[in-house]
A and B are shown apart, each in its own frame.
Chain A
């Protein structure tokens, strides 16, 4: 097991730009979700993907979008970056099925928007 890996670990963008963050799920996990963690706050759910389809979304605007690939890896895309998008973006994976409750988080990608 290699756990959940995310890239890049840190990046700096300017307002209005676009960013793509990547995530490799833990082996055997087919469900991936993304969370935004602002400094000093708890993670906030952005959306979840299962079998390449979005099947749940938090209170985030459409400029936050995602993809899940056949190998269960995932991308988070954010368009038209705003200063408030500066945060740690966490990817988490788990096995499919309602009873699978162990959510494994990656170390995150820290985005700074200037």
Chain B
């Protein structure tokens, strides 16, 4: 019940396209859903996060869509750029930024 399932494992998108990564969770006590971006040789960095009282949150080109009834949330990257090429992790917690449960990650490649 603590799992967060992430898909796809890898994704290739053309420059300017929309990248979409999906996550599903089981624990209904989760109330904090962040997305992290990780470049090779670096630690994960917080990209954007959402709480379940809203269905969408947008920051620049990055949008989280949240479906509480389906227990799913997704990351949309608009106008994807080669600099967005990285591994993306969704995560969830029922204690804010404590004891995060991470998905397995999606390796995103943006082709120029």
A-B contacts, 16 of them at CB < 8 A, read A40-B105, A42-B102, A43-B100, A43-B102, A44-B102, A45-B101, A58-B99, A94-B97, A99-B96, A100-B96, A101-B34, A101-B97, A102-B46, A103-B34, A103-B100, A104-B46
B96 touches A98 (CB 8 A): yes
The answer to whether A56 has its CB under 8 Å from any CB of chain B is yes
The answer to whether B112 has its CB under 8 Å from any CB of chain A is no
Alpha-carbon distance A99/B100, docked complex (angstroms): 14
Known A40-B105, A103-B97, A105-B43; 16 more pairs at CB < 8 Å: A40-B104, A42-B4, A42-B91, A42-B102, A45-B101, A90-B43, A90-B44, A92-B43, A94-B97, A101-B34, A101-B96, A103-B46, A103-B100, A105-B44, A105-B45, A107-B42
The answer to whether B62 has its CB under 8 Å from any CB of chain A is no
A98 touches B95 (CB 8 A): yes
Alpha-carbon distance A17/B6, docked complex (angstroms): 35
Interface residues of B in 36-93 (CB under 8 A from A): 36, 41-46, 49, 89, 91
The main secondary structure of chain B at its interface with chain A is: strand
**A80 CB to nearest chain B CB (Å):** 25
With known contacts A92-B43, A101-B34, A42–B6 Cβ distance under 8 A: yes
For B105, what are the chain A residues with a Cβ–Cβ distance below 8 Å?
40-42
The 5 A-B pairs of least Cβ separation, nearest first, read: A105-B43, A42-B102, A101-B97, A103-B97, A43-B102
Q: How many residues of B contact A (CB 8 A)?
A: 25
For B43, what are the chain A residues with a Cβ–Cβ distance below 8 Å?
4, 90, 92, 105-108
Residue in A closest to B9 when the chains form the complex, CB atoms = A40
Alpha-carbon distance A22/B45, docked complex (angstroms): 20
With known contacts A40-B105, A41-B104, A90-B44, A102–B99 Cβ distance under 8 A: no
For A56, what are the chain B residues with a Cβ–Cβ distance below 8 Å?
95, 98-99
Residue in B closest to A42 when the chains form the complex, CB atoms = B102
Alpha-carbon distance A56/B34, docked complex (angstroms): 19
Alpha-carbon distance A33/B45, docked complex (angstroms): 15
The answer to whether A48 has its CB under 8 Å from any CB of chain B is yes
